Structure formats: C-alpha cells, structure tokens
Structure 1
C-alpha cells in the first residue's frame, strides 16, 4: 500500500528520489535509512529532514542511494520494515530495498526465479545450483559460496549481500546465525513442502517487492493441486486407496519418507496411503529406515523411489534413461522384493527429487496421481504441465520432448 503524502514539497522531492530507483528488490539492515529515532517508523518529518539535509549538503546526511531507499520504504512500505516468520519460526525483518542476495539451496533459487528476481543474486552454492546449468543458466555462473550444510561464511560476507536465503536445518548447524553480521538478514525456507509452497513463495515475493509475480504462480499452483489433483483424490473411498512405499534412494538401506516429508505430502495429495507415515522418527529429518521384514509384511501396492544425489542419472542435464533403468533393476532385484505385490504387478516407479522436494512438487504429485489411479487421472499429462512450468515460470527455452530424464517405469523403456 502506498502512503499518502500531505506536503507538496515532500511530494516533489520524493518524485525526484524515486525516479532514480532502478532495482526495487529488498534489503536488510539494523534500521531503516532516515529513521532518525530508530523506532522502526519512518515518518514524513524524518524523510523531509533527510531530503533537505542531502539537498543542502549538511554535515551529516544520507548518501543518494540511502535516500532512494528511504523514499521507497516511505512510499511503498508505509514507512515500516517488512517482517516475516520463516520455516524455522524465526522472525526476520528487512529495512530497505535490496540490491544483493545470496541463495544456497535449489528450491529457494527456483522460487527466486519464479518471482523474477534472479538479477539480484550475487552468490550461490556449488552443490545445489552451480552444476545445474540447464535450469540455472544465469545463476550457475555466479560465485561459489560452498555447500548449504557448510557454507563459506567469509565468501558470503565478501560478496556484501543484503540478505541470505537458504533451507531449513534438520539437525546440525551451518553457522550462519552466529557467523553473519547483523547487516545481513538470514531467511530459512522449507521450500519443498507441498503444504507450504504457496505461503513460502508469497513470502519471497513480499520480501522482494514481487507480490504480483508470486501471486500469479500461487494461483496457478493452488488451482492445479487443489482442483485437478486433491479434489478428485478426496473422492476415492478409503478402501480403494493405493498403499504406497515411497523411498529415498541415495541414503542406503530402506529409507522411507514419513509424515512431514515432501514425499509423504505428494503421496497423500495424489490419494495414496503412505505406509510409513506414522513410523517413529529416528532423527529430526522425516525419513525413517525400515526393516525388510516390515516391508514384506506391509506389502505395498505401489513402490516409488525418489532419486537424488546421483549426478548423471536424471535431471535437466541428462537425456539417456539408462542409469534410471539400471537403478530400477537394482531395486526390484533386492532380496525378497520379488514377493512384493508392487514388484509382481510392475508398479515400481522412479522419480527425480527435483519434482518432489522443490517448488515443482505439483508436477511430482501429477505423476504419482497418474501412477496410482490411471483411470481417474487419465486427462492429466505431467509432461505438459512440466513444460508449462519451465516456459511460463522459469522462462527457460527447454524442450522436454528432446531433453531431460525425470521419471522411469519399465513400460517407458
């Protein structure tokens, strides 16, 4: 909401200041520029004094960039800081329009692109973003600040960002809370959770003055998930729902997605029953190691293996499904698996984690819905909605008919 300005002189001066603003993103700082009494409220009088101090070159005055920021905050932020509560229940405040941000995780970088704010990114992680040149053609050329669990704090500080975006910590400590100066804000998002995506993307848009862009995606997302998937899935009788074992492949053993995980949420959204949903967690991560005997006893109707952490197997940089085919063969040939209903009935599917634990999880939910209930969801075409997402919201010139490996089933070979 824009603030009404009563003083004609202030109006004229503000127009002069705002006309110089070139990048209306958002920034962090200990207080708003021009907020002389530091009470987190930039008043008309304070702004007038700041402008006149600059015009008359008083001994103490804001620099021109700071004056631009103050004008932006007063007019577009109602003279107040922007505040959110992130996925770690941390209250984060930002105080001025930003020019520079560091992004550490793939799903958050994906969201920054959705709201068309990637031009403000100055550094990224070498594990989640730099290797993904097809998906991040611009961000993948930026400076490397390490991996999300162990970011190079000195490298981050040297890039002089206004804000750092990263993921939610599940155990451990990446040192960012204590390792960054208070002039750099830190936001943590669990961006891969289907039930939180729209709230999180809206927060990204809010912080970056990109509310309209965020709203466009969220409207699309909610319409697709709620009407085309959840709405139909809710009508499936409990006794006819598929019982699903959904596994993360790269951790070793039988590692199942439990309640609170991205895999669980897309399974439930698609109308499936996650057989590992209520198992007791062994750590803060919603992933549970299960015994082979337990899996044999549960005997799921469908098995879904979420593939992650294995370069060259799948993703936007891969065109050959051979690696996924081999991984599926390894899975179905585990000792005892030949007796599972899902294996006997050829209902074992592989899917790339980029369609499960990211803002593209609605695409993963579409695939899962088609696998579980092909007749009910016969009119849904996952590749088509995936292509729309890439073209419309990621603005990529990427043809899924020619490139990419994201899912695998024996019949696809």
Structure 2
C-alpha cells in the first residue's frame, strides 16, 4: 500500500451484518442492514469518504456511484484507479444531479443503503427517487459535506462510520480533523481586520463570470479562515452568481478561484487544473488569463499578486480543513508563518488514505504555493 502505516481497519470483513437504525444528517431514522456490504453513492466524490474509512479495500462495497468522481475530478479519480484498477467496473449514473440517477438500475443493484448528499434532497424527492426507493424497501441516508461543512461533517463521518462498520476509525479521523481546525481557530481569536475575499467557483469552466458562494461552503470556510467573503453580502443561498460590476466596485483584497481536472467537462476551457500531480506552470498560465477578464484586470489584488487557486473538490470533501489552513495562511501570513498545510495533507494521506500524496492542490499567481 502506498504511503506510510495506516490505522488498522476496525473489523473489516469480520463484523456480522444485522438490521440497525441510524439517524442521518436530515434527522431521519434509517433502518438498514449494517455494516453495509452493498452501497450506492449518489454522488461519486463520496468515494473520498469511503477511502478514508476503508483504505485497504475501499471500493468492494460500492456497487454503483455517480460518474462525477471521474468527470468532476479526473486527476483524483486516476490516482485511485492506479491503486485500485477495478473501480472502472463500478456501474455509474450519468451526471452529478441526483435526478439523473437511473432508479431501476439503483434498485437492481440491491444495495443495503443508498447514500446521498443533503444538497440533493430536493432533487431526490422531486424526481421520485425517494418514493421509488421506499417502495422497493431500499434504505436512503443523507450526509452533508457541502452545505454546512463545519457543522455537519462530524455527524456525517459518524454516519459513514456506521454504514461501513468503522466507527473507531471514524473517530480517529475526527480527532485528527479537529486538531487541524484548532490550529487555525486559536490564532484568530483576537482577529481585527478581515480581508475581503472574492471566491470564484469553477473559474474558467463556464463562459460567464462570476459563480460564487454565499454564507455556506467556501463562503463559510473563508469566514472561518479570517476573511470577509464577498458573496455573503449579496447571495442568500449557498451558491450564486456575482456580476462583474459588483466585483469591480468591491475591489476585494484577495481573489480565490477553485479549479480541478475538468478535461471531461470542458477540454478547451481556461479552468485551473489542480489536484494530485497537477502541473503548476500550466496552472499559472491559466490563472493569469482568468485575471485578464473584465471583473479582475483592474483590481488591486491582481496588481499585488494576492490571487490564489485551490482544488475545487475541497468544497464537498471531509478534507476541507486542509483548505482552511491554506486559505488562512494566504489571508494572514504573519499569524500562520509556521503553519504548513502541505505537511498536514501529507500526514492525512500517510495516516488515513491508500494513495500517496502528490502536490498540486493549490497555487498562487506569483508562486507555486
């Protein structure tokens, strides 16, 4: 196995399966056969949670998943495929919208449980997925690593620990996570000035500027990192769009864009390729082009080099505390002079994950870090 010594799996392959009840992140009582031996992940990137809790054999219980693990994060998917080639054989559902799930296929896979992100709940209900699963006797559990990442990640990891029969490992990760969050929270207790931050979601993936975040998700993360999220002043939901004129008038002190390996979405787009092993020289070139768009080219942040790009999948991923450390260091370099987010991510991989760490998850306009 790649990386350093992993924490032992609690009772992998040995825990007897029985019917149990868990409370999901929506507060629903879910009765299911646990630990689950057949799982459908409505959102493919939930694979990152499974890998965390079952590093020796993460994908054997996955009988179906959304194809957006591959399409929305190709670099990450390929890193796992190199270690676990059989993931290409897992049945997939097209699209990242849960409404696109083939309900008949999901039922035919005979899952012990279907796991969905809480942000998909409305779509799951309106598409008929919830009702059809209930009629077929297939349990459905919600988790949330996206909408309220700080509030809901702990319970969501505990839920996945119950689903996979790995409660001890779940708690070990949560203890590590909290220690890393505390390394940011403590130095910010006496914080005065909060730099204004413009976060552009998936910059360059779409023609229009500027997709952003309200109080949730990366907006919540920026606030926790000691920043003032621009989108929070105008956007009332987790996600939304800011006009170029709003960005220009606000003249934010810091610009942050998210990016990933989106070759399968937009082969010719100017999105910043970030993720394991991503080429920083290519990323810098794309980031410079993005900063020539009307919303940014006159801003002081661009002139001063306070422009950064970070891996988009942190936005629905339990590893977001690594992004918290990096953003805090960008916003308050003096307070976090000794904090090393790269070392944190390396330790996470070495202790908990089955693939080796590769740099490439962030860059700045004028430097690689």
User: Is 1:184 aligned to 2:135, yes or no?
Assistant: no
Shift, 1:158, TM fit: 2.4
| Residue pair 2:59, 2:87 contacting (<8 A) in 1 also | no
Say which structure, 1 or 2, has more relative contact order (CA 8 Å, 6+ apart).
2
- 1:324-363 residue pairs with structure 2 within 5 A? 324-335=283-294, 337-363=296-322
Q: Which residue of 1 aligns with 2:363?
A: 408
SS in 2 for 1:165: strand
Task: Extract structure 1 runs of 4+ deviating beyond 6 A.
Answer: none
| Residue pair 1:241, 1:272 contacting (<8 A) in 2 also | yes
- 1:147-296 residue pairs with structure 2 within 5 A? 147=94, 148-149=96-97, 150-167=100-117, 168-169=119-120, 172-173=123-124, 174-180=127-133, 181-192=135-146, 193-225=149-181, 227-237=182-192, 240-248=193-201, 249=203, 250-251=205-206, 252-260=208-216, 262-281=217-236, 286-296=238-248
Q: Which residue of 1 aligns with 2:88?
A: 141
| Residue pair 1:101, 1:122 contacting (<8 A) in 2 also | yes
Q: Distance in 2 between matches of 1:218 and 1:85?
A: 17
Q: Distance in 2 between matches of 1:307 and 1:358?
A: 14
- Cα deviations across residues 327-372 of structure 1 (Å, max 9, x unaligned)? 3112211125233121121101111112333111111111101111
Rg comparison, structure with higher value = 1
Note closer, same or farther for the CA distance 1:217–1:267 as it changes in structure 2 (3 Å cut). same
TM-score, normalisation: structure 2: 0.80
| Residue pair 1:194, 1:362 contacting (<8 A) in 2 also | no
Q: Which residue of 1 aligns with 2:42?
A: 104
Of 311, 314, 328, which residue of structure 2 is paired with 1:369? 328
Q: Distance in 1 between matches of 2:259 and 2:295?
A: 21
Shift, 1:213, TM fit: 0.6
Shift, 1:129, TM fit: 4.5
Shift, 1:215, TM fit: 0.3
Aligned residues: 329
